[in-house]
Structure 1
Amino acid sequence: MSITAYRQSMKDTSAPRELERRVFQQVTLQLESAGRGEDRQARIHAVSRNRMLWNTLVADLGEEGNLLPVELRANLISLGLWVDRYSGQALQSDRPLAPLVDVNRAIIQGLTDRRPD
């Protein structure tokens, strides 16, 4: 591998926190778009993708080796369970997607804020 290619791959590799933020941003944009439109398939896809993201997050938070503080993990797991319930309701009764967007935006903000050194 050339030095130029190596440097480019280093630029393309982000910290886990940055990757999480990007995924939340992508999923949230899909939710916002689906919430404004009438396309049922887009709505199903966006809500399902958001649900999958949160289910993955909850599974990770439940792992014994997770380094987040216990109280934060518990709060995020609780939020993830709410997202799962609300997502089912949103698909069955066309409830607004704005609450899911709001929760994701709060997570994005938390992932964007810099931790004290």
Structure 2
Amino acid sequence: MLQAYNQAATRTESPREMEYRLFGQVTRALMHAATVDKSDLATRIDALDWNRRLWSTLAAACQDSDNAMPAPMRAQFISLSLFVNRHSSKVMKGEEDFETLIDINRSIMQGLAA
């Protein structure tokens, strides 16, 4: 029954709403990972990896010549994806924190909600 509900909910969402929901889920995972002890590597790595995969998928979509988004905006998303990847590595090394990644995702969510 839960699977049927999830499928129905997905069918009624616009692509923008789905992107917003996905960014929300990933951002919540990052927020949670930021609160766990640094020794909880699994939680931290899972959240960072999920965020990296989201941004990599977005960057790949922006590289598609059929993408209707203006080229300068697509380039900005690709640059952000590269930054997210580098920053995530620094978070894992203890050189940076999660806050920047969370802020970036929140900014994207604000744009999607507009």
Aligned to 1:14: 13
* Aligned-partner residue type, residue 42 of structure 2: Q
* Distance of 1:11 and 1:56 partners within structure 2: 19
* CA displacement at 1:9 relative to structure 2: 3.1
Aligned to 2:52: 51
* Distance of 1:87 and 1:10 partners within structure 2: 31
* Aligned-partner residue type, residue 74 of structure 1: A
Aligned to 1:73: 74
Q: Which digits, 9 at most, give the CA deviation of each residue in 1:8-31, with x for residues without a partner?
A: 937852110100000000000000
The within-5 A match list for 1:18-97 is: 18-38=17-37, 39-93=40-94, 95-97=96-98
* CA displacement at 1:92 relative to structure 2: 2.1
Structure 1 alignment gaps of length 5 or more? none
Q: 1:10 to 1:41 in 2, by over 3 A?
A: closer
Structure 2 alignment gaps of length 5 or more? none
Query: Identity percentage over the alignment?
Result: 41
* Aligned-partner residue type, residue 14 of structure 1: E
Aligned to 1:104: 105
Q: Cα RMSD between the aligned structures?
A: 1.8
Question: Scaled by the length of structure 1, what TM-score is found?
Answer: 0.84
Aligned residues: 107
